[in-house]
């Protein structure tokens, strides 16, 4: 692992996770990892498995209308790679008006629902603690969902250890996780402008468009749905690929129900980029 500072933070992270899931009598607590299959929750899950008995650590993924199919598939694959018990819970979030209204606090209500569903599931297995993959960088951004995590007493060991996204990726690479350099994902609801009602149809248009572009070799992207106008965001170096295949992309997205197709020449934010290898 490169860097003495990173090594010390990694060891501190192990101690923090150990303190959370092992009680004073050296007995392992039953714990759930709120698991997306992304690099953050994967690192937490892997270390939790390493410092505890395998049977006491469970990964739980919430599947709903706002979750990309690829996210569920990745979560199943990475959980298998880590060697951790994994459960996918199917829930309908579009029956919650506070989520559908898509206000600035949507993420708070969504996260609240997620944790409460995980807690219900946890009671079946006698789980006493929930951990998630919130990292130190997340704490410096506007993320209403973090308030819900605190209210529900969810442990965020990466944030507590002061470990940000780039360091998470370094640790994941050190641990041999295949998703160490995977692009960051977010729920499909983030593709709909704030205060515009979220519908099943809008979400499926976004998911279908992103899946199509992904298969064309555009590995990191977002397709925003602005009232039927597709705004494609990707890395600047991939914009040329989109322009080269513009006729194919345009026709396909129009067939999906979009009325216009545009490309954001600013690309996605640099902070979401992966490690240089």
Question: What pLDDT sits at residue 274?
Answer: 39
pLDDT category, 270, cuts 50, 70, 90? very low
Query: For 123-145, b where at least 16 C-beta lie within 10 A, e where not — what string?
Result: eebebebbbbbbbbbbeeeeebb
Q: CA 177: distance to chain centroid?
A: 16
Which tokens go with 125?
Answer: 């297995």
Q: What is the CATH number of domain 199-272?
A: 3.30.70
Whether the pTM exceeds 0.75: the reply is yes
pLDDT category, 135, cuts 50, 70, 90? very high
Parse the chain into domains and list their residue ranges.
4-175, 199-272
34-43 confidence digits (pLDDT tens) = 999 999 999 9
Whose tokens are 């990745």? That residue is 74
pLDDT higher than 50, residue 220: yes
Question: Which of 34, 50, 24, 56 lies closest to 126, judged by CA?
Answer: 56
Average pLDDT of the segment spanning 43-61: 91
Q: Which CATH superfamily is domain 4-175 in?
A: HUPs (3.40.50.620)
Question: What pLDDT sits at residue 26?
Answer: 54
Alpha helices, H only, the chain: 4-21, 39-51, 69-82, 97-100, 106-124, 145-151, 157-160, 165-175, 200-215, 236-244, 246-255
168-195 confidence digits (pLDDT tens) = 999 999 999 999 998 888 999 999 999 9
CA-based end-to-end distance of the chain: 15
Question: What pLDDT sits at residue 6?
Answer: 78
Average pLDDT of the segment spanning 83-97: 95
Strand ordering across the sheet containing 85-90: 85-90, 57-63, 31-34, 129-131
Question: What pLDDT sits at residue 17?
Answer: 96
pLDDT category, 269, cuts 50, 70, 90? low
Question: What pLDDT sits at residue 264?
Answer: 92
């Amino acid at each position: 692992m490169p860097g003495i500072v990173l090594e010390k933070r990694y060891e501190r992270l192990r101690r923090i996770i150990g303190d959370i899931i092992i009680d004073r009598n050296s007995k392992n607590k039953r714990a759930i990892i709120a698991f997306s299959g992304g690099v953050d929750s994967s690192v937490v899950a892997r270390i939790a498995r390493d410092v505890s008995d395998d049977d006491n650590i469970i990964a739980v993924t919430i599947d709903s209308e706002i979750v990309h199919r690829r996210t569920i598939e990745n979560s199943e694959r990475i959980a298998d790679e880590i060697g951790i018990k994994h459960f996918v819970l199917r829930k309908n979030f579009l029956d919650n008006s506070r989520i559908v209204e898509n206000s600035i606090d949507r993420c708070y209500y969504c996260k609240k629902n997620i944790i409460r569903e995980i807690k219900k599931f946890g009671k079946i297995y006698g789980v006493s603690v929930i951990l998630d993959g919130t990292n130190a960088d997340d704490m410096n951004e506007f993320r209403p969902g973090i308030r819900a995590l605190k209210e529900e007493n969810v442990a965020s060991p990466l944030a507590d250890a002061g470990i940000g996204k780039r360091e998470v990726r370094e640790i994941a690479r050190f641990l041999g996780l295949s998703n160490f350099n995977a692009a960051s994902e977010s729920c499909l609801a983030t593709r709909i402008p704030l205060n515009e009602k979220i519908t099943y149809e809008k979400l499926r248009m976004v998911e279908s468009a992103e899946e199509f572009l992904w298969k064309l070799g555009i590995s990191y992207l977002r397709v925003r749905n602005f009232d039927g106008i597709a705004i494609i965001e990707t890395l600047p170096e991939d914009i040329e690929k989109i322009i080269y295949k513009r006729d194919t992309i345009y026709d396909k997205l129009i067939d999906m129900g979009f009325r216009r197709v545009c490309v954001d020449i600013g690309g996605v934010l640099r902070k979401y980029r992966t490690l240089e290898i």
